[in-house]
Structure 1
Amino acid sequence: MSEKSDPPIFSPVTRDALSQKVAKMLTDAIMSGKLKPGARVSESVIARDLGVSRAPVREAGRLLESAGLLVSHPNRGFFVRTMDSEDLDSLYELRLAIECEAAARLARQGAQEVIPVLRKQMDQMIALASSGEIAAQVQADMHFHRLMIEGCGNRRFVSVFKKVASEIQLGVALIGHVNDAPDNIARNHEMIIAALEAGDEEAARAAMRYHIGVARTAVVAHFQRLEAAGPHPENPAS
């Protein structure tokens, strides 16, 4: 009688799962500045370094192209996207259109279940504010806004925000710092939460308009200063 074998500890890794892992690694490299704006993303080099075939690397590249982090050129492959102040300004304008209405919608329908989750996320953002981990700070901020948008129940808002969030993260990563101190992070997001708690649609719109407007002014102005100083640098962080 054959000995009964133990069940496997790990499930086989599918190609989709592998491409997602490669996409996460590439995203982290872009946000941390290891892969700089305009840099070529070589499928063969990345596949060799990771010990995988080129197929999941190519699929990861397509995922990040859809997210706005990479661009592809025929017969040349993928490159890290560059951005300018006009790109960022239009992204923040789109954020205003989506998030002001998402906040109003959530205030109107009731945000009692979402508010504890938003407060917990705000606490995480404050804890990260002095860490110096730019990518983690921006991701935490974007996650706060995504939680709010998901809570409002409009799936179209969510799908658009996913792409916008990736591009906003790239823009802030290129600057190399975030502008809010911990107390500002708390104050600006507390205004949003307070309006949601009160169920006040107009106050929710106004709080979101102010919050995104402050970020828009700071980030776009920083990019404009970089552009005025000369060609887009590979590492604008100072």
Structure 2
Amino acid sequence: MIPIPSSSGFQPLDREGLVQRVARLLGKAIITGQLAPGARLSESVVARDLGVSRAPVREAARLLENSGLVTYHANRGFFVRKISAEELDHLYELRIVIELAAARRMIDQGQPEPVAALAAQLQALHRVAAPGVDMLTQVEADMQFHRLLCSGSGNPKFLAVFDQIAAETEFSIMVIGQLYDDPLKMAETHEPILDALQAGDAPRAEAAIRYHIGVAREMVTRQFRDLETGAG
């Protein structure tokens, strides 16, 4: 068991949107590795550092449990979840299913606005690939592209499921350090998806999504297996 440090370095918050703000702070700390897998989330320590009561910290931990970043052990409390390679493989398999369906639905609807939003986000991906931009910003821009794909499908259930698993995906990439040696490659791998959606070519869009997410799936799960076996 890895205890949370006696001082987490968090600054006090006001009362507005307290639970959501605590959840965002803790989620970012987990995704960036400030709180390591297996670390215990001490409600009292976090509450003290943020200047809040323990109740919103506990509620925030429940939200993080729903998003897959935290697990609860009876009589012991909340812990940063240790995610296995097999679990990540299942997660990426689910992403492929959701995003294939979202792309087909987007093309069937033929609305230009969602595709235009994806084009704008692809430009954002290229911008954050610049030297000096931190990895979390790049990963969040990547995930926003896929979020817009699900949102643009017009089916809110696709988006709801995507949002539930997005944090786990971000966490997995941050743990392994990177997907590509060149951040620009991350942006470029989205281009075939956008090209196919702009052309309204469903088979090509599906092939591009399968390849794009499939490559990430293979990279992430392989490196997590290496970490599990001590080979990484």
TM-score, normalized by length of structure 2? Answer: 0.88
Report deviation, 1:180: 6.0
Structure 2: which amino acid aligns with 1:55? A
Q: Which residue of 1 aligns with 2:82?
A: 82
Residue 179 of structure 2 contacts residue 216 of structure 2 at CA under 8 Å; is this kept in 1?
A: no
Report deviation, 1:131: 3.5
Q: Which residue of 1 aligns with 2:58?
A: 58
Structure 1: which amino acid aligns with 2:164? K
Q: Distance in 2 between matches of 1:227 and 1:189?
A: 30
Q: Which residue of 1 aligns with 2:128?
A: 128
Residue 31 of structure 2 contacts residue 167 of structure 2 at CA under 8 Å; is this kept in 1?
A: no
Residue correspondence of structure 1 range 35-54 to structure 2 within 5 A: 35-54=35-54
Residue 179 of structure 1 contacts residue 218 of structure 1 at CA under 8 Å; is this kept in 2?
A: no
Residue correspondence of structure 1 range 2-81 to structure 2 within 5 A: 13-14=15-16, 17-81=17-81
Structure 1: which amino acid aligns with 2:175? L
TM-score, normalized by length of structure 1? Answer: 0.86
Q: Distance in 2 between matches of 1:168 and 1:30?
A: 12
CA deviation digits over 1:161-208, x for unaligned, max 9? 111211111111211223263442333211111111111111111111
Q: Which residue of 2 aligns with 1:229?
A: 230
CA deviation digits over 1:181-237, x for unaligned, max 9? 34423332111111111111111111111110111111111111222226xxxxx7x
Residue 92 of structure 2 contacts residue 213 of structure 2 at CA under 8 Å; is this kept in 1?
A: yes
Report deviation, 1:32: 1.4
Worse-superposed segment, 96-105 or 57-66: 96-105
Q: Which residue of 1 aligns with 2:204?
A: 203
Alignment partner of 2:71: what SS? Answer: strand
Change (3 A) 1:27 1:185: same
Q: Which residue of 1 aligns with 2:143?
A: 142
Q: Which residue of 1 aligns with 2:163?
A: 162
Q: Which runs of 5 or more residues in structure 1 are unaligned?
A: 1-11, 231-235
Q: Distance in 1 between matches of 2:23 and 2:147?
A: 20
Report deviation, 1:106: 0.8
Q: Distance in 2 between matches of 1:90 and 1:171?
A: 13
Alignment partner of 1:71: what SS? Answer: strand
Higher alpha-carbon Rg:
1
Worse-superposed segment, 145-154 or 171-180: 171-180
Residue 38 of structure 2 contacts residue 82 of structure 2 at CA under 8 Å; is this kept in 1?
A: yes
Q: Distance in 1 between matches of 2:187 and 2:36?
A: 31
Structure 2: which amino acid aligns with 1:68? G
Residue 37 of structure 1 contacts residue 81 of structure 1 at CA under 8 Å; is this kept in 2?
A: yes
Change (3 A) 1:227 1:57: same
Percent same amino acid among aligned pairs?
Answer: 50
Report deviation, 1:13: 3.6
Q: Superposition RMSD on alpha carbons, in Å? A: 1.7
Alignment partner of 2:113: what SS? Answer: coil
Q: Distance in 2 between matches of 1:92 and 1:103?
A: 16
